[in-house]
């Protein structure tokens, strides 16, 4: 299995490129900032680049900068392998305010404010317990060993 990591800055795409450099910055503020970053990335991932309608504004980004909670939201987006999860699995589907409604957690609909997919980054604050973090780190290290990834990539 091969992982492709979206590294920022993407210096290769900037060589001999007449397009202006485009960067995105996510601010800090703990879990509130992480939630805000989730919404911002989700929106930027659905908005088309005015200069190239074949890509989203998020795909257009040459740089991503973040601090604190903004990093909690942007780091998994940047480094999470494309398989077995896709962007749609970890992001939310932006909805207009008039479409939103408050349903039950089992009501799997993008406009339901009480439902998030199990793999959505927005569920991360619910998963901060020592045991869950230890289990995640264990799986991460096992996966790295299985795929011969150097420790520097962890």
Domain range summary for the chain, segments of one domain joined by +: 11-149
Is the Cα torsion angle 41, 45, 48, 50 positive or negative in sign?
A: positive
Structure tokens given for 12: 């290769």
User: CA–CA separation, 111 vs 96, rounded Å?
Assistant: 8
**How do residues 51-87 score in pLDDT, each as one tens digit?**
889 999 988 888 888 999 898 888 877 777 666 777 7
Q: For the chain, what percent of residues have pLDDT higher than 70?
A: 79
Q: What is the pLDDT of residue 40?
A: 92
Model-level pTM greater than 0.75? no
Is the pLDDT at 151 greater than 70? The verdict is no
Q: What is the pLDDT of residue 98?
A: 92
User: CA–CA separation, 71 vs 64, rounded Å?
Assistant: 10
End-to-end Cα separation, the chain, in angstroms: 17
Q: What is the pLDDT of residue 13?
A: 60
């Amino acid at each position: 299995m091969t992982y492709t990591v979206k590294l920022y800055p993407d210096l290769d795409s900037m060589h001999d490129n007449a397009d202006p450099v485009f960067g995105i910055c996510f601010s800090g503020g703990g879990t509130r900032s992480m939630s805000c970053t989730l919404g911002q990335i989700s929106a930027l991932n659905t908005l088309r680049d005015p200069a190239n309608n074949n890509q989203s504004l998020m795909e257009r980004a040459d740089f991503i900068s973040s601090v604190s909670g903004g990093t909690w939201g942007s780091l998994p987006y940047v480094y999470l392998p494309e398989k077995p999860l896709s962007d749609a699995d970890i992001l939310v589907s932006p909805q207009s305010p008039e479409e939103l409604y408050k349903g039950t957690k089992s009501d799997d609909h993008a406009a339901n404010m009480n439902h998030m997919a199990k793999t959505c980054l927005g569920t991360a604050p619910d998963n901060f317990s020592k045991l869950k973090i230890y289990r995640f780190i264990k799986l991460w290290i096992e996966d790295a060993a299985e795929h011969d990834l150097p420790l520097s990539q962890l």
